[in-house]
Amino acid sequence: MRSANSDSKKKHRATIKDVARASGLSSATVSRVLSGYEFVKDGTRSRVMEAVEQLGYVASLPARSLAGGRSRIIGLLVPNLDNGYVGTITQGIDKALSSANCDLVLYTSHRQPSKETYYVNAITNGITEGLLLIAPQFTSTYLAALRERDFPYVLIDQADPTGNSGVVEATNYQGAYEATRYLCKLGHTRIAFIAGALKVHSAAERLRGYKAALAECGIPSSKKLILDGDYQQQGGYEATKHVLSNVDPPPTAVFASNDISAFGAMDAAREHGFSIPDDISIVGFDDVPQTSLVYPKLTTVRQPLEQMGQAAAEMLLERIEDRSRPPQRITLATHLVVRDSCTPPKLQRGERRSPFTETGGSVLPTN
C-alpha cells in the first residue's frame, strides 16, 4: 500500500504561524511585512522574508480575504470566448493584472439567463475585488446592482447610458466614419452597412459614423443598404446574402460593424459568385487576429483591443484603491488598416467580370 505514508501525515502547507515561529516573531509582524507595511525594522523584515522563502509560504487567499485584506482577484464577465475579440482584450487585462499580482475569475454572461441580479450578487459576494465587463448587453440590470453595492467595476467597449461608470472604449464613431469615407473615396457609392445589435453603444456609434461619412460625401443613405446584424458571423452572412439578392443594383461594397460579421459577409459574397475585392469590397471593424488569416486579408478599423484591456484593468485597480475617485472614461483611437479586401468599384452595369480573374492562383509554378 503505497498510500500509507502519504496519508498518514498530511503535509499541511505552511501558515503564517509557521513563518512566525520560524522567524521568532509574531504573526502580526509577519502579516505587516507581507502586506508591505513600512514601519518594520529592516532586520525584522529580512528575517521574515527568509522564513517565508525557506518554507515556501504563500498566504491563503480565503483567509486573507475574510480578514478584510485584499484578495487580489478580479472578475471578468465575458460574452463568449471563441472569437479572438475577447481573447485579445483579455490578454491586455492579464498583462496589467499580472504586474499588479492579481488573478482573474472568468464569468461567462450566458450563465444565468434570467437572474442577472442574483448573478451579480454572487460575484460581489465572492472573492472578487472588482469586476471588468466586456461589452455587456444588459448594462441596466448589472450596473444598478453593482453601484448599489458600491462595487468597483469598469466597462470595456460599452458605454453606460447614465454616464456613471468607468469606461474604456475606442473611437467608434470616427472609426466608422473613416472606413466609410475610405470606401467613398475609392469611388463606391452603394455601400451596404451591417449593423451590430444597436443596444450596444459601439454598434450605434458605428452606424452614426457610417451615415455621417455618407452624408459628407454627398451620398444619400438608403434604408435598403442598412442591414440588421448582431456582431455574429451568421448575421453578417445573412444580411449580405439578402442585399446581394434583393437589392438592385447590388452594393459594390459592404462595411460590416465588426470583423466577425465581415467574415460572414465574405462567405455570402463568395457564395453569390462574387470575388473579393474585384466584385465587392469589404471592410470590417476591430482587427481581431483572424483578419490576416482570411483571404483576402481584411481591411478593417483597428481597435486597440489589447490596450483597451490593459487600460481597463489599470483603471479598475485604481478604483479599488480609491473608491471615491470619480468615474473616468478613456477613449482610445482607432485607425483604418488597409489590407486586401477593397478596390475601386467595377465599371457600370453591362460589364461583367470574367469569373476566372482570381488572384495569381491559377498560374503554374515554373520550377
Partner DNA sequence: CTGAAAGCGCTAACAA
Partner DNA sequence: TTGTTAGCGCTTTCAG
Nearer to a second copy, 94 or 178 (CB): 94
Looking at 66-74, 178-186, 212-220, 335-343, which segment touches a second copy (CB under 8 A)?
Answer: 66-74
Q: What is the dihedral of CA 28, 50, 74, 92, to 10 degrees?
A: 150
List the one residue from 100, 104, 198, 336 that touches a second copy (CB under 8 A): 104
Going residue by residue from 4 to 43, which x/- string records binding to DNA, judged by CB under 7 A?
A: --------x--xxx------xxxxxx-xx-xx---xxx-x
Residue 364 binds a second copy, judged by CB under 8 A: yes
State the minimum distance, in angstroms, from the CB of residue 67 to a second copy: 9
Residue 21 binds: one of DNA, a second copy, none (C-beta under 5 to 8 A by kind)? none
| Under rule CB under 7 A, residue 289 binds DNA | no
Measured in whole angstroms, the distance separating CA 119 from the mean position of its chain's CA atoms is 21
DSSP element (H, E) containing 337: strand 335-337
Closest separation in Å from C-beta 91 to a second copy = 6
- Residue 303 C-alpha cell reads as 481597435
CB of 127 to DNA, least distance (A): 12
> Does 71 help bind DNA (rule: CB under 7 A)?
no
Among candidate residues 108, 121, 64, 102, the one with its CA nearest the CA of residue 313: 102
Distances (CA, A) of 141 to 115, 144, 154: 10, 6, 15
Q: Where are the beta strands (DSSP E) in 8-91?
A: 73-78
Three-state secondary structure call for residue 117? helix
**What is the separation of C-alpha 192 from the centre of its chain, rounded to a whole number of angstroms?**
25
Residue 179 bridge partners (DSSP): none
Q: By C-beta, is 30 or 156 nearer to DNA?
A: 30
CB 337 to a second copy: min, Å? 17
> Which residues lie below 8 Å from residue 257, measured CB to CB, with a gap of 6+?
176, 193, 194, 195, 196, 203, 206, 207, 229, 231, 285
Among 49, 100, 105, 144, binds a second copy (CB under 8 A): 105
Give the type of residue at 99: S
Nearer to DNA, 38 or 351 (CB): 38
Instruction: Give the number of other Cβ atoms within 10 Å of residue 288's Cβ.
Output: 25
> In 126-277, which residue ranges form alpha helices assigned H by DSSP?
139-148, 172-186, 201-216, 233-246, 259-271
SS3 301: strand
The correct pick among 52, 64, 124, 169 for binding DNA (CB under 7 A) is 64
80 half-sphere exposure, CB direction, 13 A CA radius: 8
Out of 273, 322, 352, 356, which residue is the one contacting a second copy (CB under 8 A)? Answer: 273
Identified binder of a second copy from the candidate list 103, 116, 318, 340, rule CB under 8 A:
103
Enumerate residues 322-341 that contact a second copy by CB under 8 A: 324
Q: In the complex with DNA, which residue's Cβ is closer, 44 or 117?
A: 44
Q: Which cell goes with 218?
A: 454627398
Q: For residues 218 and 229, what is the distance between their CA atoms, to the nearest angstrom?
A: 25
Among 21, 40, 49, 117, binds a second copy (CB under 8 A): 117
Residues of the shown chain interacting with a second copy in the complex, contacts defined by CB under 8 A: 3, 6, 10-11, 13, 56, 58-63, 65-66, 71, 73, 76, 80-84, 86-88, 90-91, 94, 98, 103-108, 111, 117-118, 121-122, 124-127, 148-150, 248, 250, 263, 273-275, 278-279, 289-290, 293-295, 324, 346, 360-365, 367
Residues of the shown chain interacting with DNA in the complex, contacts defined by CB under 7 A: 12, 15-17, 24-29, 31-32, 34-35, 39-41, 43-45, 57, 59-60, 63-64, 66-69
